[in-house]
Structure 1
Amino acid sequence: MTTLLLILLALIAALVLWSAWVSRGVERWIPMDGRQVEVPGVRMHVVEMGPADAPAIVMIHGILSQLRVYTYALAGRLAKDYRVVVMDRPGWGYSTLTGPRLDLAGQADAVAAAVAALGLEKPLLVGHSMGGAVSLALALRHPQAVRALGLIAPYTQPVDTPPEPLRGFVVPAPLRPLIAWTLAVPLAMRTGKAKTVAIFAPDPVPEDFPIKAGGALAIRPKAFLSGCYELAMAPEAMQAQAPRYGEIAVPVSILYGRQDALLDPALHGSKAASEVQDGTVEMLDGGHMLPVTHVDATETWLRRVASGS
């Protein structure tokens, strides 16, 4: 029994060391791109682009993602005419938590605090997927902080079960740290490509997505822990948030891919647009990762939203 226990402990220690080694390697391939801004509970990693005196656009990403999903192509195009600020949401990418993990409301507060710290005056807030949920929370909690929302494939409504590619993150809280530092990294390396294909479907995954768009950062233990927390937190938070959408007075524009395989465009797009006071929804042929796979169409739509036309 003692021998078996020692073997088990040695195996766990080896997996922890290997996971840490892989994480450091990924971070060398994908280093921090910008700087951190200190706000209550988190040091927000932000990248600033474009003319400092231009109208501002703030962009926040979805689950298992980080700010490179925007800097991949879209943010640079918009930065020709706008002050574009892309942010890693709390707990993701290189945004470092200095307090407890933050639910939708807490993340909205952190984004609003970062907007204020950067001196941005009523930016257009762009949120993709779970970033859309945070954007809606911000509009409810800080209605004077932004001039409008531009939501790309947003998560907006309560759902009973998470999308199939994300179900591996449904893990009891006491087990999450152990799994994060032992099994999560090898499993992500083994199954990550197939899950990424499912998230992008029916659009193809660009070959340079792991590095240029930061996709490889999702294999780190940090990402596993954040993913588990958000999938566990989101249903209750959304149950409280969704009934209040009628209070949102800023314009809310939504873009969805008709073939989105992760979230239902009618439920999360059309329904949400009908519930806010000033909401619109546009559909195009495509999947969930529109900022990466349909850059031209997303840019055209966002420029219309930013100009208020």
Structure 2
Amino acid sequence: MKKLIAGLIFLLVGSAALLYLSPATLLAGIQLVERQRAGLTLKQIGVGDLNIHYYEGGPSNAATILMVHGFAANKDNWLRLARYLSQDYRVIALDLPGFGASSKPLGSYDIGTQTERLADVIDALGLTQPHLIGNSMGGHISALYAARYPQNIRSLALLDNAGISSPQPSELRQRLQRSEPNPLVVRSPDDFQRLLEFVFVQPPYLPPSLKRYFAEQAISNSAHYDTVFAHLTERYIPLEPQLAKILAPTLIIWGAEDRVLDVSSVAVMQPLLRHSSAVILPETGHAPMIERPELTAQHYRTFLLTVQNTQNR
């Protein structure tokens, strides 16, 4: 028995050392565990000349929740939230074109173009009236999709979405107006730590090796993200004229301490939406589904149940 225990300890220590030296392996292991906890499987689909990667899980005959991530992010942003939803809903979390493992097409990444790419993905997946949820840039895209195709979704949830000129300028907007470097684009290892502190009130813990790995990946993508951000700003589509076209019930969730997009956006959006409710999460930053996944899921599940009960009448 002692030899068995000693062998197990040796194996664990050796594995830990290997993972420390191989952050890509560590990341793959964490992603596997998180996917399993969320009940999701990695899949891909061809959409025209694009290869789209996504997670899918939950009952195949249940209503579908389609998750759309934000700028410089990917489908992994939804793993923590999906854990609380996939028991009762079919969950799909995309890598948008240009992000994660999906194709990076030539051409524009402005909101209008990405919205039409999202429409193509929805058609390719054969989704009929999904519940659409988006964060930041993904919320901007989701809201514009809901305005352009109002009959195609069952509900809309917007988490700290872009596309609104907030009465109180966000810290990001103020920095960019002063021609300061974009804090969302990482150009050095120190930038990555500053990014975490900028996006979150309480940044999630990352082992040092994994933090370095994420920083390296972000730095390698910095030129691409500069291009995408330029398209988003130069070919900006404001949501204010679009919101009244949205027919689906809409839930707004916002972090009270969001430094990227100011919470005062909520006061602009609600009067323009036909059927809306809003939740402001205290001590939360720009990505509630990562920083407060369980609380975000509680509010979202309550909203979905209300939508279901209303539509079944």
TM-score range, shorter chain: 0.7 to 0.9
Gaps of 5+ in 1: 1-24, 171-183
2:304 is aligned, of 268, 289, 306, to 306
Give identity over the alignment, percent. Answer: 25
The residue number in structure 2 matching 1:173 is none
The answer to whether the aligner puts 1:151 opposite 2:145 as a matched pair is no
Q: Determine which structure has greater relative contact order: mean sequence separation of CA pairs < 8 Å that are 6+ residues apart, divided by chain length.
A: 1
TM-aligned CA deviation for residue 96 of structure 1: 0.8
Q: Distance in 2 between matches of 1:204 and 1:35?
A: 31
Task: Compute the TM-score of the two structures, normalised by the length of structure 1.
Answer: 0.75
Deviations 1:5-50 (A, max 9, x none): xxxxxxxxxxxxxxxxxxxx87665469723222245322111011
The answer to whether the aligner puts 1:280 opposite 2:277 as a matched pair is yes
The residue number in structure 1 matching 2:83 is 76
Deviations 1:248-297 (A, max 9, x none): 22222100111212211112x22122212222211120221211111121
Deviations 1:207-252 (A, max 9, x none): 138969x955851533x23422332222354445432222222222
The residue number in structure 2 matching 1:65 is 73
Q: Distance in 1 between matches of 2:297 and 2:241?
A: 30
Counting matched residue pairs gives 265
The answer to whether the aligner puts 1:49 opposite 2:57 as a matched pair is yes
Q: Distance in 1 between matches of 2:117 and 2:98?
A: 11
TM-aligned CA deviation for residue 158 of structure 1: 4.0
Q: Distance in 1 between matches of 2:302 and 2:147?
A: 23
8 Å CA contact 1:152, 1:254 repeated in 2: yes
Q: Distance in 1 between matches of 2:93 and 2:273?
A: 25
1:112 is aligned, of 100, 112, 119, to 119
1:169–1:258 Cα change, 3 Å: closer
TM-aligned CA deviation for residue 54 of structure 1: 0.8
Deviations 1:189-213 (A, max 9, x none): 232112211211xx2111138969x
1:128 is aligned, of 131, 135, 140, to 135
Q: Distance in 1 between matches of 2:250 and 2:293?
A: 20
The residue number in structure 2 matching 1:208 is 206
1:261–1:49 Cα change, 3 Å: same
Task: Compute the TM-score of the two structures, normalised by the length of structure 2.
Answer: 0.75
Gaps of 5+ in 2: 1-21, 32-40, 308-313
The residue number in structure 1 matching 2:181 is 168
1:281–1:218 Cα change, 3 Å: farther
The residue number in structure 1 matching 2:193 is 193
TM-aligned CA deviation for residue 66 of structure 1: 1.0
Which amino acid is 2:206 matched to? D
Q: Distance in 2 between matches of 1:102 and 1:259?
A: 28
Larger Rg: 2
Which amino acid is 1:281 matched to? A
Between 117-126 and 203-212, the greater mean CA deviation after superposition:
203-212
Q: Secondary structure at the match of 1:168?
A: coil
The residue number in structure 1 matching 2:94 is 87
Q: Secondary structure at the match of 1:94?
A: coil
2:263 is aligned, of 265, 270, 274, to 265
8 Å CA contact 1:39, 1:114 repeated in 2: yes
The answer to whether the aligner puts 1:138 opposite 2:136 as a matched pair is no
CA RMSD across the alignment: 3.0
